[in-house]
């Protein structure tokens, strides 16, 4: 029996390849990174003592660097267990919970027709490419040169030209023996009961081939050369091969790039064909584009299949912000642990092509570096321009935030979003005397607030009468990277290392902790990986051994020395479990409050910079007063850190003699 490619793709997508391989091998704990779907084991195809067999869920592939075998789900079963291909398909379909297709002569006939239609689309692509190089294509070639595209880029994307003729393509295909029905089925001509004689759909247009996930041409996009054309861009109509809402331009090439050697790449969704192509030429090869319409749920799913956190890039003007807000609403219901989106907003009036054409990729990289989280976009949208000077308005804001986040289907993510919004709301309302927001995510010139110019303005303001005090500048709450972690970060991390049962009792909370200290960030990733790999069997001894093996022994020793010097016994191994939990919860509350103050302080500095640059002197005094209040709150919280000191000693519930 022959299986359709769509059926094979479906069951492969539903079953992680690690589930198939993992039944036949034992994963190496030290090299495997479960959170990234990256697995290592000793090769089942040849005898070896050190793991060189690599399996990646994101790619759906395995490869042994020792003997060279590689393949997908089906190849693994046919090569290792000697199954026939249909038997391997049956096994994967059972794992996916998908019923095997029954023999269907009509389905087989359609599959053959699809194959022949792909051949027709390839012929059309070659025709358009050839036409671009003729005298008729001179104007199109000049346009592409003006847009800065090189011959190599034009060849890479197989760009072409549809001549200004009603039947040039139709006659070319007919001369190749392609029948009228196939030409119509490919959407290459306009036809129908009210059209006496069919004619070429694309005329006098630069042609952009649209490829499937298997890198076959399934449709075209055409850019009109005439300014009088009714549509600047025209896509193929829906066909057996092409469903616009399920396809992304440059999908296959971007997926390959994002799944390179380290598998850590992301995907950038931009607006159009030329944006993707210009970014590719500038060295940014992991960009895709929807096909002239707003992003759809299916296209968002495609992005998530390539990367857990794609970046959606929009213009910084009003239309771009409205499109970003629509994308926020589209993404929220489908969030899952580890799966979200970020938003990169371009300067007003600029597209990616404009940014990279003259100065290379650096300006666009800066835009990406300032990408906002989905949570931040939700918050900014709801508070921007609002006045919250009465209890009723503040209650309305709170209800609106609750309603927006209630659409998240995943219970864990929904709970964390609710907490994040409450933290932002508390910090916002407590730190603002009149409870008024003039927040703008972008200034009038389209620059993102907080960029280089805005940050410099904020620093100049901070140097005035309300400058941060010397004590605050030295404070662990506002300083940058430290030689040792901040005390509360040390308490959080060491408590978990010494009492790993907390990892499983409080995993939803613990997995979202963000540390400022870089070494502690890397150490924390190892702790979470160890928890995922070992499960509830994880003990302190096993965890310490793994961390020491990865080179974090000195860091753990420094954390232990720091908390003992501060007499924070709840973080030590001697603390009773209930004391350890209580100390962890207090440290976590302080940590979150500090993060919220950091965020509020940065936002105020951005607003001050913007107001100063724009000469909006009416709001500057109020912003300065609010910033002072936030700084006083930072100082107060700095003093409040002492609350967690001595808890374990006073409780008298240590497990043994306290270390001295």
pLDDT tens-digit series, residues 336-384: 988 899 999 988 778 888 888 877 888 899 999 889 999 999 998 898 8
Which residue reads 């935030």 in tokens? 401
Task: Tell me what pLDDT residue 530 has.
Answer: 80
Mean pLDDT, all residues of the chain: 81
Higher pLDDT: 474 or 23? It is 23
What does the pLDDT average to over 300-326?
87
* pLDDT tens, residue by residue, 527-543: 887 877 777 788 899 88
* CATH fold of 105-242: DNA primase DNAg catalytic core, N-terminal domain (3.90.980)
pLDDT computed for residue 509 by the predictor: 67
> 372-375, long-range: CB within 8 Å, 24+ apart, which pairs?
372/342, 372/343, 372/344, 372/345, 372/441, 373/340, 373/342, 373/343, 374/328, 374/331, 374/332, 374/335, 374/340, 374/341, 374/342, 374/343, 375/417, 375/420, 375/421
CA distance 191 to 212: 25
Q: What is the pLDDT of residue 470?
A: 37
pLDDT (mean) for 79-83: 82
Please report the pLDDT score of residue 300 as a whole number. Answer: 93
Left, alpha or beta for 390 (phi > 0: left; psi -120 to 50: alpha)?
Answer: beta
Choices 3.90.580.10, 3.40.50.261, 3.90.1150.10, 3.30.300.30: CATH for 5-96: 3.90.580.10
Give Cα separations from 458 to 138, 469, 610, 625, 653 (angstroms). 52, 15, 8, 14, 49
656: left (phi over 0), alpha (psi -120 to 50) or beta: beta
pLDDT of residue 434: 42
Looking at 377-386, 462-471, 536-545, 633-642, which range is the least confident one?
A: 462-471
Q: How confident is the model at residue 625 (pLDDT cuts 50, 70, 90)?
A: confident
Please enumerate in sequence order all residues whose Cβ is within 8 A of that of 552, keeping only pairs 6 or more positions apart, or say none.
519, 522, 523, 526
- pLDDT band of residue 129 (cuts 50, 70, 90) is very high
Angle between helices 518-534 and 540-549 (to 10 degrees): 130
pLDDT above 70 (res 182) = yes
Identify the band that residue 446 occupies on the pLDDT scale cut at 50, 70 and 90.
very low
**What pLDDT, in 10s, does the model give residues 563-588?**
887 777 888 888 888 888 888 888 88
Structure tokens at 222: 């055409």
Q: Which pLDDT band, with edges at 50, 70 and 90, does 248 fall under?
A: very high
Topology match between the domains 5-96 and 251-430: no
Is the model's pLDDT at 436 over the cut of 60?
A: no
Highest mean predicted confidence (pLDDT) among 169-173, 193-197, 225-229: 169-173
Mean pLDDT value across residues 264-283: 89
Q: What residues contact 583, with CB distance under 8 A and at least 6 apart?
A: 491, 495, 568, 570, 571, 575, 644, 647, 648
Spell out a b/e string for 369-395, using b for 16 or more CB atoms within 10 Å of the CB, else e: eebbebbbbbbbbbbeebebeeeeebe
> What whole-number percentage of the chain has pLDDT above 90?
35
> How many whole angstroms separate alpha carbon 516 and alpha carbon 487?
12
Structure tokens at 250: 């440059």
Average pLDDT in the 189-197 region?
90
pLDDT of the residue at 639: 55
Distance of alpha carbon 590 from alpha carbon 489, whole angstroms: 10
Q: Is the pLDDT of residue 332 over 80?
A: yes
Residues near 63 by beta carbon (within 8 Å), at least 6 away in sequence: 53, 54, 69, 70
CB atoms within 10 A of CB 413: 21
d(CA 252, CA 267) in angstroms, rounded, equals 11
Per CATH, the number for 251-430 is 3.40.1360.10
From the list 268, 506, 220, the residue with the least C-alpha distance to 365 is 268
* 119 contacts 111 by C-beta, under 8 angstroms: no
From 203, 199, 211, 125, select the one nearest 160 (Cα to Cα): 125
100 Ramachandran zone, left/alpha/beta (phi>0; psi -120 to 50):
beta
Q: pTM of whole model > 0.75?
A: no
Question: What is the reported pLDDT for 230?
Answer: 85
**Whether the Cβ atoms of residue 330 and residue 307 lie closer than 8 Å to each other:** no
CA nearest neighbour of 457 among 471, 473, 443, 438: 443
pLDDT of 148 strictly over 60? yes
Q: Name the token pair of 171.
A: 């006659």
Quick one: average pLDDT of 217-229? 93
Average pLDDT over residues 125-131: 97
Domain residue extents for the chain = 5-96, 105-242, 251-430, 487-651
Residue 201 pLDDT level (bands cut at 50, 70, 90): very high
Average pLDDT of 606-617?
Answer: 71
Distance CA 614, CA 604 (A): 15
pLDDT (0 to 100) of residue 631: 74
Q: How large a percentage of the chain has pLDDT more than 70?
A: 82
pLDDT digits (tens, 9 = 90+) for 492-503: 889 989 998 887
How many other C-beta atoms are found inside a 10 Å radius of the C-beta of residue 300?
A: 20
pLDDT at 112 (0 to 100): 65
pLDDT of residue 636: 65
Euclidean distance between CA atoms 505 and 584, whole angstroms: 12
* Contact predicate 587/569, CB 8 Å: no
How many residues are present in the chain?
660
Indicate the pLDDT class of residue 525, thresholds 50, 70 and 90: confident
Q: Given this model, what pLDDT does residue 319 score?
A: 80
């Amino acid at each position: 029996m022959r299986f359709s490619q769509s059926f094979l793709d479906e069951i492969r997508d539903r079953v992680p390849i690690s589930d198939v391989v993992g039944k036949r091998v034992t994963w190496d704990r030290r090299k495997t990174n479960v959170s990234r779907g990256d697995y290592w084991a000793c090769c089942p195809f040849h005898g070896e003592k050190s793991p060189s067999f690599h399996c990646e869920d994101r790619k759906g592939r395995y490869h042994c660097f020792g003997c060279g075998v590689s393949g997908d789900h089906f190849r693994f079963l046919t090569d290792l267990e000697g199954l026939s291909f249909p038997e391997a398909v049956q096994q994967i379909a059972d794992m996916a919970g998908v019923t095997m297709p029954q023999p269907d002569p009509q389905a087989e006939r359609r599959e053959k027709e699809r194959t022949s239609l792909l051949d027709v689309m390839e012929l059309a692509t070659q025709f358009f490419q050839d036409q671009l190089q003729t005298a008729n294509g001179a104007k199109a070639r000049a346009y592409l040169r003006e847009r800065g595209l090189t011959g190599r880029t034009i060849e890479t994307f197989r760009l072409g030209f549809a001549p200004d003729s009603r039947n040039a393509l139709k006659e070319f295909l007919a001369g190749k023996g392609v029948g009228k029905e196939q030409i119509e089925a490919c959407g290459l001509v306009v036809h129908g009961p009210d059209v006496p004689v069919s004619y070429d759909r694309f005329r006098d247009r630069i042609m952009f081939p649209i490829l499937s996930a298997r890198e076959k041409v399934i449709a075209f996009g055409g850019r009109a050369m005439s300014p009088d054309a009714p549509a600047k861009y025209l896509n193929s109509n829906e066909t057996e091969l092409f469903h616009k809402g399920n396809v992304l331009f440059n999908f296959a090439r971007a997926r390959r790039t994002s799944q390179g050697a380290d598998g850590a790449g992301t995907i950038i969704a931009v607006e159009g064909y030329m944006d993707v192509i210009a970014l590719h030429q500038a060295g940014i090869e992991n960009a895709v584009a929807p096909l002239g319409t707003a992003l759809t749920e299916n296209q968002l799913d495609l992005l998530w299949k390539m990367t857990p956190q794609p970046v959606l890039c929009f213009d910084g003007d009003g239309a771009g912000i409205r499109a970003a807000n629509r994308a926020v609403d589209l993404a929220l219901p489908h969030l899952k642990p580890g799966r979200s989106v970020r938003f990169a907003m371009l300067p007003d009036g600029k597209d990616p092509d404009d940014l990279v054409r003259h100065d290379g990729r650096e300006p666009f990289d800066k835009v990406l570096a300032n990408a906002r989280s989905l949570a931040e976009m939700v918050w900014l949208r709801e508070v921007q321009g609002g006045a919250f000077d009465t209890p009723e308005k503040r209650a309305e804001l709170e209800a609106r935030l609750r309603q927006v986040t209630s659409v998240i289907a995943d219970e864990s993510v929904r709970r964390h979003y609710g907490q994040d919004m409450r933290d932002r709301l508390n910090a916002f309302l407590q730190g603002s005397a009149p409870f008024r927001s003039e927040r703008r995510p972008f200034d009038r010139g389209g620059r993102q607030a907080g960029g280089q110019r805005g940050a410099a303005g904020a620093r100049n303001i901070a140097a005035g009468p309300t400058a941060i005090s010397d004590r605050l500048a030295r404070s662990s709450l506002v300083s940058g990277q430290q030689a040792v972690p901040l005390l509360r970060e040390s308490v959080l991390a060491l408590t978990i290392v010494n009492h790993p049962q907390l990892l499983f009792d409080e995993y939803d909370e613990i997995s979202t902790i963000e540390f400022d200290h870089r070494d502690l960030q890397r150490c924390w990733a190892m702790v979470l990986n160890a928890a995922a790999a070992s499960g509830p069997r994880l003990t302190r001894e096993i965890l310490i051994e793994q961390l020491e093996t990865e080179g974090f022994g000195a860091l753990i020793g420094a954390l232990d020395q720091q908390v003992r010097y501060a007499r924070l016994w709840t973080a030590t191994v001697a603390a009773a479990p209930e004391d350890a939990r209580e100390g962890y919860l207090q440290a976590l509350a302080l940590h979150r409050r500090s993060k919220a103050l950091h965020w509020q302080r940065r936002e105020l500095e951005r607003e001050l910079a913007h107001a100063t640059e724009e000469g909006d002197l009416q709001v500057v005094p109020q912003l300065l007063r609010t910033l002072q209040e936030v700084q006083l709150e930072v100082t107060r919280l700095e003093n409040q850190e002492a609350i967690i000191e001595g808890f374990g000693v006073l409780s008298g519930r240590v497990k043994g003699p306290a270390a001295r």
